[in-house]
Amino acid sequence: MNQMTPAPKPDLRALFDPKSIAVIGASNDTTKIPGMTLESLLKHGVDVPVCPVHPKLEEVQGLKAYPTVEAAAQAMGAAPELAIIVIPARAVPDMLESCAQVGVRAAIIITSGFAEEQGEEGAALQARVVEIIARHGLAVLGPNAQGYANFARALCCTFSPAVRLATDPLIPEWCEDGGRISVVAQSGALGFSLYDTGRLKELPYRFVVTTGNEAGVSAFDVVDHLLDEGGTQVFVMFLEGIRDAARFREVAERALRAGKPLVVAKVGMSAAAERSAASHTGALAGSWRANKAMFDAYGVTLVESHEELIDVAAAFMVNRHRLPKGRGIGIPTSSGGAGGWTADGCAAAGLEVPELEPEARARIDKFLPPYGSSINPVDGTAQAIGLIGNSELTRLTALSERVHGIVGVTSAINAAAFLKEGENFPRVGLGLEKPICYWSYTRPSRETYALFAKSGWALSTNLRHSTRAMAAMCAYAEAKERFRPPLPADAPPAPGEIETMTEREAKAWLHGSGVGGAPGGLATSAGEAATLAAALGRPAALKIQSPDIPHKTEAGGVALGVGPEAAAAEFDAMLARVKSRAPDAAIEGVLVEPMAPAGAQMLLGITRDPLFGPMLLVGAGGIYAEVLDDVALSPLLDDEAAALRLLQGLKTWPLLDGARGQAKADVPALVTLMLALCRFVSDNAARIEDIDLNPVVAHEMGQGVSVLDALVLRRAG
């Protein structure tokens, strides 16, 4: 191949919707992975030519086998579009090269023993695979992947027992559009268990894709392709590490704009999980806070368990076209106790349970016995539900203008109770303009699950999953409504050394780009200090300037509230102090600035995440910053409203907002400073390692903000 020819673009259509398949390594032993993989394809009636490739066998599982992929291609009349490779790791790179030479466009490498292994050999093998993929522009899942299932075609390119041993139809009978939920998982075991568990709840899956070591196609590449494919309504993702921040941002934005929620489990909240990810797939977990901030910005829902993952995805599936327009929840129930408990769950999830207005109550009261209640929770009691059904009680509750969504309680052990409601059940479920999430305190039969899913009612057996699904839908609706892309921060760090700028240099650089005020004057003698101080017309702050002294206070290099008459003496005293404590520091002089008026102490900064690059940090300043850990992280913002929300999310926000009769701080000025800083950093992303504006004092409303100190670590560019 001519090295100058650019590699073609990977063809994910050939990977996920192939017209012909070779299974390389397929055998007759269906207790081993190579045999299982072919068995799985055949069992579900693969609808395109499949050709086993095996060095010795002439027939495998009833199909004629060929010794090489070339021979197979010749026999098939054309190269197979997809090669599933299940041979020893050492033989994989050469085989992949052969496939590419023959014209194969896509591959699944199920074999493990690559980057996930300790030691050099696996890493070297993976590097070879990466190189071959790039050179030929192949679409490759794995290595160390369990493959995928494309349920719309009953195409099971995987050895997973979840589909290989499946006795149920792969897609529930009630669903006729080829499935609506797709799983994209970096862990094979978890990926297919999400199918297995959700299938028992009669949920319609479209794709399960496991990406393994991601030498070629990444989880977000898969989502991107499935957005093109179009049939997926909700994505369920299990992520250990994100490899490419720009690709995440691009695909997450596409999904958000398309109204296709990403419901994600992300490993890596804890140090032990980071250890685990590093040893398991060689992926960098990245900082948890940065991940969370990115997910929030793009409306990605984070969940805590695989059962919650499924329940939240199911809730989005039936409700995504009628997301809540507010946080007021109506709770129809037949059990008073369970209703109260659901209200607790709503409160814990940040939802509200308003008392219904009199008109709404009157509509319900007509049907209630004296021991029922229409206040909300709406305790219909078994009697009223027997009379008007869950459907009608739900509809009447949703009629309240204070209600934006329904979290109902029922006992769904038998479908009969709901079948009895006839056409009303799907009419309300599919027709209501407000989202419906029910939970059952008994375990629903599969018939009940199917009835609920096809009738537009989300059903869970976990109260907290239902309330958190509703809260997730609120957050998603808000994120979708408010979304403005963060500023780009994708430039890789410049290769130069990291230099510590002095406060004066840093302030001057920032000020030149509209971030903060100009630095004060630099005194290099006691006389200059006196002159500069006198010119201020108010007491001065004197601060030593040296690239070798990032922490001025500790070095004796700060004097506050210095009057003009004392400035010269203070200059001399400071230099003596600093020289005794840091004798080798190169000293540029002493910065003379006016003392700032009082206000709320904040900190504002930029921190470079290893994955996502520079991110904005804002928090309470002073001693409470450390004690309370009251900081918020965000991608670089270009959006006043988002900056304001970031501040409002701080524990100490009430102090800025005039708690206990204090003056309100100049939040608009603080927001302006935040946005200016973000623009500056986006423009200089390669060079910014770290910025720490601390403290930033937010004065009274209208009085602006003062950046009292600035520390910048900059890469030579």
Residues 336-365 that bind a copy of itself (CB under 8 A): 336-341, 343-348, 353, 355
Distance CA 257, CA 111 (A): 37
Give whichever of 162 and 523 is closer to a copy of itself, judged by the CB atom. Answer: 162
Stretch that binds a copy of itself, among 14-22, 455-463, 638-646, 667-675 (CB under 8 A): 455-463
Report, in Å, the least distance between residue 431 CB and a copy of itself: 27
Contact between 269 and a copy of itself by CB under 8 A: the answer reads yes
Closer residue to a copy of itself (CB): 265 or 533: 265
Q: Does 118 bind a copy of itself (CB under 8 A)?
A: yes
Residues ≥6 apart with Cβ < 8 Å to 3: none
Q: What are the tokens at 318?
A: 């039936």
Provide the minimum distance between the beta carbon of 299 and a copy of itself in the complex, in angstroms, as a whole number.
Answer: 22
191 closest CA partner among 212, 217, 214 = 212
Beta-bridge mates of residue 700: 665
Contact status: 142 vs a copy of itself (CB under 8 A): no
Region of 398-406, 469-477, 578-586, 651-659 interacting with a copy of itself (CB under 8 A): 651-659
Indicate which single residue of 13, 280, 402, 446 sits in contact with a copy of itself (rule: CB under 8 A): 280
- In the numeric block, which tokens belong to residue 344? 């607790």
Question: Which of residues 143 and 521 has its CB atom nearest to a copy of itself in the complex?
Answer: 143
Compute the CA torsion angle 303, 306, 308, 312 (nearest 10 deg): 80
CA angle at 499 for the pair 496 and 502, rounded to the nearest 5°: 155
296 or 570, CB closer to a copy of itself? 296
Kindly tell me which of 56 and 660 has the beta carbon lying closer to a copy of itself: 660
DSSP 341-366: HHHHHHHHTT-B-PPPPHHHHHHHHT
Minimal distance, residue 377 CB to a copy of itself, in Å: 5
Q: Does 686 bind a copy of itself (CB under 8 A)?
A: no
Q: How many residues bind a copy of itself (CB under 8 A)?
A: 86
Nearer to a copy of itself, 4 or 623 (CB): 623
CA-based angle 651:621:690, to the nearest 5? 110
User: Any contact of residue 40 with a copy of itself (CB under 8 A)?
Assistant: no
The smaller minimum CB distance to a copy of itself, of residues 102 and 343, is found at 343
Q: Least separation, in Å, of the C-beta of 648 and a copy of itself? A: 13
Instruction: For a copy of itself, give the closer residue by CB, 275 or 482.
Output: 275
Structure tokens, 506: 């840093």
Which residue, 393, 249, 268, is CA-closest to 335? 393
Question: Taking Cα atoms as reference points, which of 346, 347, 393, 348 lies closest to residue 369?
Answer: 393
| Closest separation in Å from C-beta 129 to a copy of itself | 16
Q: Give residue for tokens 């292994």.
A: 117
Q: Residue 426 Cβ, how far from a copy of itself at the closest point, in Å? A: 26
Which residue's CB is nearer to a copy of itself, number 152 or number 190? 190
Cα 384 to Cα 629: distance, rounded to the nearest angstrom: 50
Helix-then-strand count for the chain, H and E: 26, 31
The contacts of residue 6 (CB under 8 Å, 6+ apart) are: none
C-beta of 279 vs 580, nearer to a copy of itself: 279
Q: Which residues contact 392 (CB under 8 A, 6 or more apart)?
A: 367, 424, 428
- Tell me how far apart the alpha carbons of residues 146 and 159 are, in angstroms, rounded to a whole number: 7
Interface of this chain with a copy of itself, residues 303 to 322, rule: CB under 8 A: 304-308
Query: Residue from 70, 117, 244, 490 that binds a copy of itself (CB under 8 A)?
Result: 117
Segment contacting a copy of itself by CB under 8 A, of 14-22, 93-101, 369-377, 599-607: 369-377
Integer Cα distance of 255 and 128 in angstroms? 33
Interface with a copy of itself (CB under 8 A), residue from 220, 238, 295, 367:
238
- Residue 340: phi and psi, rounded to 5, are -60, -40
Asked if 256 contacts 298 with a C-beta cutoff of 8 angstroms, the reply is yes
Cα separation values, 305 from 309, 386, 439, Å: 6, 35, 17
Q: 267, 489, 590, 591: which one contacts a copy of itself (CB under 8 A)?
A: 267
Beta bridge partners of 595: none
- Diameter of the chain by CA atoms? 100
Residue 463 Cβ, how far from a copy of itself at the closest point, in Å?
Answer: 5
Partners of 106 in beta bridges: 82, 139
Binds a copy of itself by CB under 8 A, chosen from 76, 113, 127, 326: 113
Q: Of 618 and 637, which has the nearer Cβ to a copy of itself?
A: 618
Distance of alpha carbon 96 from alpha carbon 84, whole angstroms = 10
Span interacting with a copy of itself, options 277-285, 483-491, 505-513, 525-533, rule CB under 8 A: 277-285
Q: Are 452 and 466 in contact (CB under 8 A)?
A: no
Contact flag: residue 413 with a copy of itself (CB under 8 A): yes
Q: Does position 394 bind a copy of itself by CB under 8 A?
A: no
Q: Which stretch binds a copy of itself (CB under 8 A): 188-196, 400-408, 584-592, 597-605?
A: 188-196
Q: Which is nearer to a copy of itself, 308 or 689 (CB)?
A: 308
The answer to whether residue 525 forms part of the interface with a copy of itself (CB under 8 A) is no
Q: How far is the CB of 14 from a copy of itself (least distance, A)?
A: 27
Tokens 């960098």 map to which residue?
A: 284
Task: Choose among 618, 665, 672: nearest CA to 646.
Answer: 618
Near a copy of itself by CB under 8 A: residue from 373, 391, 448, 502: 373
624 is an interface residue for a copy of itself by CB under 8 A: yes
Check if the beta carbon of residue 367 is closer than 8 Å to that of residue 394: no
- Please say which residue, 21 or 346, places its beta carbon nearer to a copy of itself: 346
Q: Which listed range, 18-26, 63-71, 270-278, 589-597, lies at the site for a copy of itself (CB under 8 A)?
A: 270-278
